[in-house]
Amino acid sequence: MESNKNNYVLLIHGGVGTIIKENMTATKEAAYLETLKMALLAGENVLKNAGKATNAVEAAIKVMEDSPLFNAGRGAVFTHEGKNEMDASVMDGNTLDAGAVAGVTQIKNPISVALQVMQHSNHIILIGEGAERFAKQQGCELANPSYFYDEDRFQQLKMAQLHNEVILDHSGESAYQEGNIENEGKKFGTVGAVALDTHRNLAAATSTGGMTNKQFGRVGDTPIIGAGTYAHNKTCAVSCTGHGEYFIKNVVAYDISALMEYKQTTIQEAAEYVIHEKLKQQKGEGGLIALDQKGSYTMAFNTKGMYRGVVSKNHSPKVDIYK
């Protein structure tokens, strides 16, 4: 992308997986594309008014958290116990400050609380009830657990329990067809955003409901700085989506930054290597969005699709789903 000092860039993702056009209804496809565009416009509205990258990624993610289409916020999947446990994180590439929440059940927009943790606490990760007490103290909007109930998500849980399966980060249609587990239908529905603001600062943020039928308070890569989210003005801003355990083991978000810093690889080279070689060799599925201070970006994934979009000062919003 072209770079000039007043340029801004925003990228978003809404999850990866076996997302095939033939399996998508026209109505649902239109709904996804429209929500992705709304998220881009919300974030862009912050950036074009000289707002901070951290606020832009929050604004974009809130739109996706408020939509039942994505596995975050209102669309979060169910745990084995029939709860919705959500994780989110944000990082400022200028200061390296970061904030995250994990295992929260009553926060309407987990990403907003993650930002409050970064800005108004001495910690980086808050979990469960403690995170919710902090959210209330900061005036963040709470929601009754019934707010997060979605019938399609609940049926995903019932099918997962029937087959004794943990189903990876869904977004969209059920992973099951005609009562049989259809692995080719799985999706990873984590949402994320990365931004470059007009002050030349980067930020990254990610939010998720985790895995269907997860147990024992399982936490994935989303709230772990360096695994699912990372930002550093010196290198890049990264938000990941996919099978979280692989992203934790490979510290994927930080790995992109490290390759750029220590080996002087481009952002595209770093992402291609990590997603298409390193993870694939381990059978790790997923993708990421990454953006550097010059406005160069990449949207890499090793699955059949990724909900994604980009907007900049010089280009109108562009959204896509399929490979």
Per-residue confidence (pLDDT) for residue 18, from 0 to 100: 82
Mean pLDDT is lowest, of 37-51, 94-108, 160-174, 257-271, for 160-174
Per-residue confidence (pLDDT) for residue 313, from 0 to 100: 96
Q: Cα–Cα distances in Å, from 202 out to 9, 68, 206, 297, 301?
A: 10, 28, 14, 12, 21
Nearest CA among 206, 298, 202 for reference residue 248: 206
- The predicted-structure confidence for 24-36, as pLDDT tens digits, reads as follows 999 999 999 999 9
**Residue 49: pLDDT over 60:** yes
pTM of the model: 0.93
Percentages helix, strand, coil for the chain (3-state, rounded to 5) are 35, 25, 35
Confidence category of residue 96, pLDDT binned at 50, 70, 90: very high
Confidence category of residue 185, pLDDT binned at 50, 70, 90: very low
Confidence category of residue 312, pLDDT binned at 50, 70, 90: very high
Confidence category of residue 172, pLDDT binned at 50, 70, 90: very low
**Residue 78: pLDDT over 60:** yes
HSE, CB side, 13 Å, CA atoms: give it for residue 230.
Answer: 23
**Beta 180-181 vs 176-177: how paired, if at all?**
antiparallel
Annotated catalytic residue within 35, 54, 190, 303: 190
**Residue 175: pLDDT over 80:** no
Confidence category of residue 4, pLDDT binned at 50, 70, 90: low
Distance CA 110, CA 142 (A): 9
> Has 198 been annotated as catalytic?
no
**Residue 264: pLDDT over 70:** yes
Type of residue found at 239 = S
Confidence category of residue 187, pLDDT binned at 50, 70, 90: low
Mean pLDDT is lowest, of 130-139, 149-158, 282-291, for 149-158
- The predicted-structure confidence for 207-252, as pLDDT tens digits, reads as follows 999 999 999 999 999 999 999 999 999 999 999 999 999 999 999 9
Strands (DSSP E) contained in the chain are 9-17, 86-92, 98-104, 125-127, 176-177, 180-181, 187-188, 191-196, 202-208, 229-231, 236-242, 286-292, 297-301, 305-312, 315-322
**Residue 183: pLDDT over 50:** no
Query: What tokens does 65 get?
Result: 């958290």
Domains, the chain, ordered by start: 9-176+183-244+278-322 (3.60.20.30)
Map tokens 């745990």 to a residue: 79
Mean pLDDT of the chain, nearest integer: 92
pLDDT above 90 covers a percentage of the chain that reads 85
**Residue 115: pLDDT over 70:** yes
**Residue 16: pLDDT over 60:** yes
Task: For residue 112, give the H/E element and its range.
Answer: helix 110-120
Question: Which DSSP string corresponds to 165-191?
Answer: --B----SS-SEETTEE-GGG-EE--E
Per-residue confidence (pLDDT) for residue 166, from 0 to 100: 67
Per-residue confidence (pLDDT) for residue 36, from 0 to 100: 98
**Residue 188: pLDDT over 90:** no
> What is the pLDDT averaged over residues 251-271?
98
